[in-house]
Amino acid sequence: MFRRTVEWLRARLSWSAATGQTTAEYALVILGAVAVATMLITWATGSHALTRLFDTVIEKVLPS
């Protein structure tokens, strides 16, 4: 009986450790994506690329 309980506890603890590791990996991926998006937005606003993009789209949609 004691051996079964110990095996159950070991299995339970190893499962929860893997779950925590997966959560941490997702958090790191999300932080990386946010960093890349921030750099892209900073570049686009600094170089006025977004303004040119929107102007081009509006000119194509609403020809003069």
Domain ranges of the chain: 2-61
Place of tokens 């299995």: 11
- For residue range 38-62, list pLDDT tens digits in order: 999 898 888 888 888 889 999 999 9
Give the SS3 label for residue 28. Answer: helix
- For residue range 23-33, list pLDDT tens digits in order: 888 999 999 99
Query: What is the pLDDT at residue 14?
Result: 66
Query: What whole-number distance in Å separates Cα of residue 35 and Cα of residue 25?
Result: 15
